[in-house]
């Protein structure tokens, strides 16, 4: 079974990191009419006709150029411009709004996540943390250098755990999985639990802590499942499957409004009726749920 989050690796691009400081090569690639450019306004990307448009350099606006890399005999860039462009026109979506597009056409997903991740970093990193000075982009958008003290900043990724917790005899009709929902979500949406890893904490302990904090359920054994870039704004989602040692639920009523145990049959029935709506797109959450279920499930966010 191919899981939905694995579509992000269908056609990975060569990031050409060694060429990011080769100004002559970058200029040559920018002058090539076969090169393609993604315009990012702030952290939003335009969608036209259900697809993300890539334009030749001649049609790209002025902005911060980010080398994404090479794929299919072409060089690919992103250009980051101010957020005013997205405010002035329709069709500009944040990355969450792009998930259905990535699900339908996943070939460009790795480059889109790359581009938006760098754009999020540029938007969040406005001043030098050492002296407060202004930052100048270098290395084709992948380095920010302070114009006053010379300190360099590089993109950071925040490790976050996302987990499907199970209880009962594995593979039996009575085995259950734990899903929760936030109060801000539309009615019926449920997903796997997730949270950020804290300093000095292993990933497995982060799984146990987050589940206990959000639902009161204790988790014992934890097994790694897979990972996924998730630039909201700068996360690397690390997926796990955990085995519960207790099943009583006490939600924190802060991050989680409700949490429930679902059998396979119950989850299928409620997904078919629309009572429960599961994550969609290229989400690793969907992959975790369907891995446990043993096949595809209907409905998606």
Q: Going residue by residue through the chain, which has 301 residues, state the pLDDT in tens, using 9 for 90 and above.
A: 545 555 555 567 999 999 999 999 999 999 999 999 999 999 999 999 888 999 999 999 999 999 999 999 999 999 999 998 888 788 899 887 887 777 766 678 889 989 999 999 999 999 999 999 999 999 999 999 999 999 999 998 889 999 999 999 999 999 999 999 999 999 999 999 999 999 999 999 999 999 999 999 999 999 999 998 876 668 899 999 999 999 999 998 888 999 999 999 999 999 999 999 999 867 899 999 999 999 999 988 7
The answer on 87 and 30 residing in a single domain is: yes
Which segments within the chain are labelled E, that is strand? 36-41, 44-46, 64-71, 74-81, 92-93, 135-138, 143-146, 152-153, 158-167, 176-181, 193-196, 219-230, 235-244, 258-263
How, if at all, do strands 235-244 and 158-167 pair?
parallel
Alpha helices in 16-108 (DSSP H): 23-31, 84-88, 95-104
Same structural domain, 66 and 187? no
- The DSSP output letter for 18 is G
CB 55 within 8 A of CB 35: no
State the CATH number of the domain containing residue 112. 3.90.79
> Does 152 reside within a domain?
no
Examine the domain organization and report whether 270 and 162 are in the same domain. yes
Considering the entire predicted model, what is its pTM?
Answer: 0.82
Domain with 237, as residue range(s), is: 158-293
CATH no. for residue 177?
3.90.79.10
C-alpha 21/C-alpha 39 separation (Å) is 21
Same-domain pairing of 85 and 201: no
How many other C-beta atoms are found inside a 10 Å radius of the C-beta of residue 124? 11
Tell whether 192 is covered by a domain. Answer: yes
How many other CB atoms are there within 10 angstroms of residue 238's CB atom? 22
In tens, the pLDDT along 186-231 reads 999 999 999 999 999 999 999 999 999 999 999 999 999 999 887 6
The separation between CA 93 and the C-alpha centre of its own chain, rounded to angstroms, equals 15
**How many domains, the chain?**
2
**DSSP β-ladder status, 235-244 and 219-230:** antiparallel
* Closest to 260 in 3D by CA, of 275, 280, 273: 275
* Neighbouring residues of 140: CB distance < 8 A, sequence distance ≥ 6: 19, 20, 21, 26, 65, 66, 67
For residues 106 and 218, state if they share a domain. Answer: no
């Amino acid at each position: 079974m191919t899981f939905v989050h694995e579509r992000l690796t269908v056609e990975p691009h060569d990031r050409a990191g060694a060429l990011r400081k080769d100004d002559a090569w970058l200029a040559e690639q920018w002058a090539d009419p076969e090169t393609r450019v993604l315009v990012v306004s702030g952290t939003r990307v335009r969608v036209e006709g259900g697809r993300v448009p890539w334009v030749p350099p001649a049609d790209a606006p002025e902005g911060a150029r980010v080398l994404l890399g090479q794929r299919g005999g072409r060089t690919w860039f992103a250009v980051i411009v101010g957020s005013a462009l997205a405010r002035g026109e329709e069709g500009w979506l944040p990355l969450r709004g792009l998930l259905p597009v990535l699900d339908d056409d996943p070939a460009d997903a790795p480059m889109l996540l790359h581009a938006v991740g760098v754009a999020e970093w540029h938007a969040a990193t406005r001043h030098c943390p050492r002296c407060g000075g202004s930052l100048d982009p270098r290395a084709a958008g992948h380095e920010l250098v302070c114009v006053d003290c010379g300190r360099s900043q590089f993109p950071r990724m925040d490790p976050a755990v996302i987990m499907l917790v199970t209880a009962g005899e594995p593979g039996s009709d009575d085995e259950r999985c734990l899903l929760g929902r936030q109060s801000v979500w539309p009615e019926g949406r449920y997903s796997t639990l997730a949270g950020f890893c804290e300093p000095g904490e292993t990933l497995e302990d982060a799984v146990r802590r987050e589940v206990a904090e959000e639902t009161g359920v204790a988790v014992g054994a934890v097994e790694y499942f897979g990972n996924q870039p998730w630039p909201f704004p700068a996360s690397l989602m690390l997926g796990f499957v955990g085995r519960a040692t207790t099943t009583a639920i006490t939600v924190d009523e802060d991050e989680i409004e409700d949490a429930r145990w679902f059998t396979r049959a119950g989850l299928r029935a409620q997904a078919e009726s629309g009572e429960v709506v599961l994550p969609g797109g290229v989400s690793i959450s969907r992959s975790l749920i369907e891995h446990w279920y043993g096949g595809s499930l209907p409905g998606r966010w």
